[in-house]
Structure 1
Amino acid sequence: MTKNYATLLFLFCLSVFFTFPVAAQSTTGTIKGSVIDSATNKPIDLMTIALKRDHAVVKTMVVNAAGNFSFEKIAPGQYTVTAIAIGYPAKNVSVSLTSGTADLGSILMVSQSNNLKEVSVTADRPLIKQEIDRISYDIQADPESKGLTVLDMMRKVPLLSLDADDNIKLKGSGNYKILINGKPSTMVARSPKDVLRSMPASSILKIEVITTPPAKYDSEGLSGIINIITSKKIDNGYNGSLNLRYQGPVGGPGMGGFVTVKQGKFGMTAYGGTGFYSSPQTESSTTRTTTGDLPTTLISKGTRRFDNNYRYGGVELSYEIDTLNLVTMELNPYGGYNKSYTSQLFSLTDGNKNIGYNQLGRNRFGWNGFDATLNYQLGFKGHKDRLLTFSYKNGNSGNPLENHLTFLDRANFTDPDFNQKNNSRTKEQTLQLDYIHPLKSITIEGGIKGILRTNKSNFEYESLNDATGQFQTDPARTNKFNNDQDVIGAYNSYAYNLKEWGFKAGIRAEGTFVKADFISAGSNVNTNYFNLIPTLSVNRKFKDMSSLNFGYTQRIERPGIDNLNPFVDRSNPNFWTTGNPELKAVLSNNFELTYSKFKKGSINVGLSYRFANNTIQNVSVYNEEDKITRATFFNIGKDKALSTNLNINYPITSKWNVAMNGNIGYIWIQGAIDGQMTKNEGLTGRAYINTGYKFEHGWKANASATFEAPEIQLQGQTSAFFFSSFSGSKEIIKDKLTLSAGVNNVFSKFRYYTTSTQGTNFTQNYRSQNYNRSFNVSLNWRFGKLKDSIKKNQRGIDNSDVKKSSTSGS
């Protein structure tokens, strides 16, 4: 089968290349002209010119230093020339080419302020844009966005990747923050993949990877920030989209969409969806070998299936009182659950006796919550670009967990059947004040912020009383835990722009006050600390449409409730996991150097280095007395990472595009476990390639492949894996109704994911089987018509300040 696919791919490429000499034999002509600013009469930097025929882009180019462009060897016919640049509305010029040269002369462009994000000619937009402190990926410019989920699109974004369990990584690290429209959302705080795999990509405008976050952002996220932009500039009238999809055999049905409405001074943007993600039964195994006075061997084999559901929503209401006063409100409800059913056979041998049992487990992890945000933006008469914004946010979320374990076929095993429950909740209030003051060539920003956060956990352990047949609470394994974390912050930043240079610099001061109470045990832990966080970004533009960016910042990783919670998860009697309420924050130093060039295509090359002391590490220790491996978190790590990344996007022809991105790096980790220094190091990285072809009559095809190198951990590493995808789409009604279908990993039914862990007296290996091959089909419908733009707050709350959970929802 592999040979047949390779043959088809070769013939496809061959057929495209053989079209070149055929086209060259016909009579051709030239379309040329120039573009200048109507006010200054000077050429415009980075002006992109697109040549269209029958609404399809034939060729694109960037004007030269004099503002001139020339399309050569063009077949006779009717064409449209579209000129696009940041800060200018797109301009279309019709031209009829018979033979020879069609000279359009000078095309005058009228500057339009505040238009950085509003270029709306989808076919002409570049997929990737490098800014002074971030890289953005234009989801709406990608044809596959109408058939994939937001989680699927993460594989395409430079610097982002998915591991074998679909957990999102930024430069290979899980230490990052996710924002929705520049603001925090508890909806994606715990396990973002669970929500993003149910969110259609058609409801997303773009994804930003902020590698050097400016001072206005909270300092949390060691590797950076992922900002998902859903809000769109909308006009008087309405528009929206609806997406229906199905994926199998792992996955299920799902639906999602968005709608925007604008009428006079009132505007509304709403989005939402739901989806099911289920898997048929798969296998897993664990082996553990220990040394010491009484060596043991543990073997566990079993099966697992799961059924998950996700629900999310959001609405933003906007009312423009007048040209200087704006009020907006955001509401975000969400919920869902993960249910799993397990059957595990355990065998533990120490040379003298064998302990064995069959464990049946029913597990349910849920989440629910509601966020409400109110913003008031004040402009100043005569200086409308000076803005003062007041923001208030109230968030409430819950994460109930239940495990029900039954033991059968016991051999020398006396532990009772038991239930364990952990009901954790987070309540958060935020007050924020921001001010922006643009001058002639410099922009000054400043603000203050206060976060009052309360985390609560009520965990309970119930064991079966054989005499009564009832479950009874065990007070020794039951407790109530409260954690109050208050953060007070202030920032000041400056942006200075010259013709060839751009600078961003700022500093953020943050004080953190933590109080942890073990209510049942009558004990507490208090921790306070203060940080000054600098940030610097420098951009140098060159005449060949290229630029060089340098960035430096410090980042903080504060432990979240899942890292702090002392609840002991005993759902696997041989492997316990728990949090550590004495964890402290981690400070990281990050350096970035990036070269970008945009001409016919785009290329980004980056080099980064980061180091941090006292990092939070997940540590496993084996106890010889009770033969249990316990995993928890400690501030023992010392990390260094040096990596380089490459992204290339190149249109081979007007219909055939190729994109590649990847990174390779080397990581060093060390930390003291039980007084003994543990070290690990190694290569890590990924490679991704995608190719897409646009056929006639609205047909499109895409193919992609990804390779992920092993993840290096303090006590071991994971396995590498490969991912492939083939998809196609058909526009049934132009720009309205699109049908898409695809298949993932057609060459292998299952993927096997392994994790190896070593300690001073043990070695253990975990191997899980996941469904690899899957198919999906989706239907995407766009509707509505727009005219005038809605006004939105330019500042808001962004609580990106706590470590997200590393738990998996599937």
Structure 2
Amino acid sequence: MFLLCLGNAYGQSANTGTVTGKLIDAVNGEQIDFAGIAIIAPETESIVKNTTSNNGGEFKMGNVPFGKYNIRISYVGYEKMLITDIEINASQPDHNLGVIRLKRTGNEMNEVKIVEKKPVVKYTPDQIDYDVTASVQSEGATATDVLKNVPMVNVDIDGNATIAGKRNSRVFLDGKPSDYMTSNITDLLNILPSDAIEKIEVMTNPPVKYAAEGDGIINIVLKKGYKVGLNGTLSANTGTLGNYNMNSYISYHGKKVTINGSYAYGGGHSTGVSSSLSQNFFLDTTFYHNSYANREGSNNGQNLRGSINYDIDTTQNIRFTTNFNLNHSQGDSYSDTYYLDSNYVTSNLNTQANDTRNRSFNYVFDLNYTWKINKRGEQLDASVTYSGNTASAYRFSDVNYLDGSNQPVLGRLPINQINQTAANNTGLLAKIDYDKPLDSLHYTFNTGLSANVHNNNNNQDVQNFDQATQQYLQNLGLTNLFRYTQDIYSGYASFSIKTDNKWSFRVGSRAELTDVNFNVSTIAQQYNIKPYLNFFPNISIGKQFKEKYNIGISYSQRIGRPNQGTLNPQVYVSTDGKTISYGNPGLDPSFTQQVDFSFGAYGDNWGIYPRLSLQNTKHIVERISTIDTTGITRNSYYNLGTSSYNSFSVYGNYRPARKMQFTGGTTIGRILYQSSGNTRLNRNGISFQAKAGLSMDIPGHYAFEGNFNYYTNTSAQSSNHGSVTSSFAIRKSFLKNKYRVRIMAVNPLGQSSYTTYLYGDNFNQQNYSTSRNRNFSASISYNFSKVTHPVPGK
């Protein structure tokens, strides 16, 4: 079939050529979608070919017979443009008209006002694009808030974002792993202002230019100052839960230099309750552990980002970006753990109070160079990124042992413990990418190299209060220094074809050499894992039918490497001595093979996008818990045999009126775990996610948006059940869209709660948690944009 399609493409290319280009606004540089482009025969004024610009403002017309033509471009609100004397012949069959700037009709604007409504979501076979700038709820929000409404993305109670049903999703920022921005991505997402985000890309089958780790990528694309002149946003938001944030974004675009900057400051207050009910059964006895806890805390953070973009000439560009992020948090938690016998009578009670304080500081310096070698699309990109982060954590714990009558247990003194952790991590990423069209725009070759070097140091100091000496003494069993390095060297190559009859093919492979070593100060053994080399093929085939349907199939291989948390063999014992956790230095990486089938159908006001995904993983790494006869829980990580995850997703949108749109969809999947060495881990389960949304413009410069979300998930030893979450927002614009006021309600119908069921050989456990997150907030934003002069086309 592949050779037949190639032959067909060549046959259709005889004595014909192509015309391509890109349309933008002459004043503000915005891409112009859905404009009409027609090829006109000058002698008869008849239309030879016509098309419309796509969602990026680009257009392409193939199979244009040799001859001399005029090109007519038109779009509502813009002056018509006529390009004359375009000759297509054997010596020059392909014409790239470059960037074409359309002028607005009858306007001399000193202010840029973008009032046309853009689609929020765009679907392609391997990717979903979520336009943050087109969402009402995104204004004055944070990245975490935005992610909750992105199709196929789950955000759990702790703020961790994953692709629906995936176990090892990765979060990227501007195409680079997020661990270069912060040691804890959730901290950054909680403070990163949505005003600095352009769009979010959900990649179910990432191209080989991206790292092969993980089974999917959530890429957050930040704004780079694409407008002409000076523009920016100032916003402030506050809510009934005590949360607040203040965001600012500013950009200046001159002829050669673009300067961008953003600053955000925010914080919040959180409370929640949880319970854990455990039944432990052995041959001769059954007993129960029931724990009830509540927590309260606050956090605040700052994020400062700046970049300078310089056009050396019309083909070369250099950009320097830096980001600084500072976070603080503190909180108190209290728990009561009841130990009950087989008759459900309390035998012992442990009470514990914790005081925690955390601080982190992250910084990034990024230098990028781009060289557009020619107008046919040949391009070279090179970048160097250096990052570092420091983090400190302090926890004071007070544990008391009581009997069934709530009296102190004789011989068991209270425990007062101080646990302090200091981490210092650095990373260096250097990469180079080269794109080369081989035959007009039909064939493209891509290749690149990268080096990714990480160094992590984690110093843990634990002290217990000694009743005899009345002073704190170091706990030598828990105090340690953990050093970890991971170096990954990569290279990739891919080849893609786009035919005139709407077929697209992409085949590529990525090679990664991994070198890991680590050691623990309390263990004499040095852990030097033998470097391993892996290859990851990637194939994608797509077909467009009549501008209304598309189909796609893709195959890829991915890797899941054990990280420092899962490998660290140092034993961690909880303050009350009832939980023991440790890593497994013998872990192997997991390998995933994935096949995706996609289909898209769309009309003028609707679209539906089903997707079937088949995924199989070998040596999957999972956290496993066991309980012994004394009631002590041990947690560690193991390579299971295999797991398979098959899912079906369908998402879509419907626009019953020009200013109203419904969006929604669901993902349902079945996961199966199989282990030849441990049959107790052979189990299966269902994961499910559903999202629904409504957005509309209301007369009087109002806009409304509402969203509902729900998801459940399954792991090797547990199943998770979430609850329905909802959010509603209404916005009012004033003074020609300069000022906007938004009122938003999060979970007005109820609080978020999560239930997890955990199963073992000799225990069953139910964990329940709820967070007080019903919140009503108000925000105000000011947008400004001053135009200096249009930038001439390149």
TM-score clears 0.5: yes
Please point out which of 670, 691, 696 is paired with 1:666: 670
What amino acid is aligned across from residue 688 of structure 1 in structure 2? K
Cα drift, residue 544 of structure 1: 4.2
What amino acid is aligned across from residue 524 of structure 1 in structure 2? Q
Against the structure 1 CA distance between its residues 522 and 247, is the aligned structure 2 distance closer, same or farther, given a 3 Å change threshold?
Answer: same
CA offsets 1:10-52 (integer angstroms, 9 cap, x no match): xxxxxxxxxxxxxxxxxxxxxxx97514699544445589xxx
Please point out which of 190, 196, 210 is paired with 2:189: 196
Please point out which of 637, 641, 651 is paired with 2:645: 641
Cα drift, residue 225 of structure 1: 0.8
1:422 aligns with: 421
CA offsets 1:305-345 (integer angstroms, 9 cap, x no match): 11122322322222222234332212111121332201112
Please point out which of 335, 338, 341 is paired with 2:332: 341
Cα drift, residue 588 of structure 1: 0.6
CA offsets 1:683-737 (integer angstroms, 9 cap, x no match): 21111111123211201222222222x2112112122311122221100232321
Bigger drift between 307-316 and 560-569 goes to 560-569
Bigger drift between 163-172 and 727-736 goes to 163-172
1:514 and 2:516 matched = yes
CA contact (8 A) 1:200 1:243 kept: no
1:143 aligns with: 136
1:326 aligns with: 317
Cα drift, residue 267 of structure 1: 1.6
Against the structure 1 CA distance between its residues 153 and 90, is the aligned structure 2 distance closer, same or farther, given a 3 Å change threshold?
Answer: farther
Provide the rounded CA distance (Å) in 2 between the counterparts of 1:203 and 1:690: 23
1:291 aligns with: 281
The secondary structure found in structure 1 opposite 2:76 is strand
CA contact (8 A) 1:234 1:788 kept: no
The secondary structure found in structure 1 opposite 2:138 is helix
Provide the rounded CA distance (Å) in 1 between the counterparts of 2:667 and 2:791: 39
Against the structure 1 CA distance between its residues 139 and 90, is the aligned structure 2 distance closer, same or farther, given a 3 Å change threshold?
Answer: farther
Provide the rounded CA distance (Å) in 1 between the counterparts of 2:624 and 2:644: 18
CA contact (8 A) 2:478 2:573 kept: no
Bigger drift between 648-657 and 568-577 goes to 568-577
Provide the rounded CA distance (Å) in 1 between the counterparts of 2:78 and 2:719: 59
1:765 aligns with: 766
Q: How does 1:530-549 map to 2 (within 5 A)?
A: 530-549=533-552
Please point out which of 174, 194, 199 is paired with 1:181: 174
Against the structure 1 CA distance between its residues 192 and 174, is the aligned structure 2 distance closer, same or farther, given a 3 Å change threshold?
Answer: farther
Against the structure 1 CA distance between its residues 42 and 366, is the aligned structure 2 distance closer, same or farther, given a 3 Å change threshold?
Answer: farther
Provide the rounded CA distance (Å) in 2 between the counterparts of 1:790 and 1:745: 49
Provide the rounded CA distance (Å) in 1 between the counterparts of 2:603 and 2:627: 57
1:229 aligns with: 221
CA contact (8 A) 2:40 2:72 kept: no
Q: How does 1:59-98 map to 2 (within 5 A)?
A: 91-93=75-77
Provide the rounded CA distance (Å) in 1 between the counterparts of 2:544 and 2:133: 27
CA contact (8 A) 2:138 2:145 kept: no
CA contact (8 A) 2:183 2:362 kept: no
What amino acid is aligned across from residue 462 of structure 1 in structure 2? Q
Against the structure 1 CA distance between its residues 656 and 267, is the aligned structure 2 distance closer, same or farther, given a 3 Å change threshold?
Answer: closer
Provide the rounded CA distance (Å) in 2 between the counterparts of 1:288 and 1:173: 28
1:407 aligns with: 399
Provide the rounded CA distance (Å) in 2 between the counterparts of 1:154 and 1:436: 31
2:295 aligns with: 304
Cα drift, residue 472 of structure 1: 0.9
Q: Quick one: percent identity of the two aligned structures?
A: 23
The secondary structure found in structure 1 opposite 2:574 is strand
CA offsets 1:590-642 (integer angstroms, 9 cap, x no match): 111111133222221111111101111011111324x2212222222521111
Provide the rounded CA distance (Å) in 2 between the counterparts of 1:531 and 1:258: 42
1:589 aligns with: 593
CA contact (8 A) 2:73 2:82 kept: no
Against the structure 1 CA distance between its residues 65 and 327, is the aligned structure 2 distance closer, same or farther, given a 3 Å change threshold?
Answer: closer
TM-score (ref. length: structure 1): 0.81
CA contact (8 A) 1:516 1:581 kept: no
CA contact (8 A) 2:671 2:714 kept: yes
What amino acid is aligned across from residue 260 of structure 2 in structure 1? T
Provide the rounded CA distance (Å) in 2 between the counterparts of 1:602 and 1:639: 33
1:366 and 2:350 matched = no
Please point out which of 612, 622, 632 is paired with 2:627: 622
Against the structure 1 CA distance between its residues 231 and 693, is the aligned structure 2 distance closer, same or farther, given a 3 Å change threshold?
Answer: closer
Question: Aligned-pair RMSD on alpha carbons?
Answer: 3.4
Provide the rounded CA distance (Å) in 2 between the counterparts of 1:513 and 1:409: 47
Provide the rounded CA distance (Å) in 2 between the counterparts of 1:392 and 1:790: 30
Cα drift, residue 112 of structure 1: 5.4
2:92 aligns with: none
CA contact (8 A) 1:680 1:712 kept: no
Provide the rounded CA distance (Å) in 2 between the counterparts of 1:129 and 1:121: 20
The secondary structure found in structure 2 opposite 1:476 is coil
Cα drift, residue 423 of structure 1: 1.9
Structure 2 gap ranges (5+): 1-34, 64-70, 87-94, 105-112, 403-407
Q: How does 1:433-472 map to 2 (within 5 A)?
A: 433-439=432-438, 440=440, 441-472=442-473
Q: How does 1:682-697 map to 2 (within 5 A)?
A: 682-697=685-700
1:678 aligns with: 681
TM-score (ref. length: structure 2): 0.83
CA contact (8 A) 1:122 1:141 kept: no
CA contact (8 A) 1:149 1:199 kept: yes
Structure 1 gap ranges (5+): 1-32, 50-61, 67-86, 96-103, 793-810
What amino acid is aligned across from residue 276 of structure 2 in structure 1? T
1:652 and 2:664 matched = no
1:722 aligns with: 724
Q: How does 1:543-622 map to 2 (within 5 A)?
A: 543-567=546-570, 568=572, 570=574, 573-600=577-604, 601-622=606-627
Please point out which of 731, 736, 739 is paired with 1:737: 739
Cα drift, residue 247 of structure 1: 2.5
What amino acid is aligned across from residue 565 of structure 1 in structure 2? N
Against the structure 1 CA distance between its residues 159 and 114, is the aligned structure 2 distance closer, same or farther, given a 3 Å change threshold?
Answer: farther
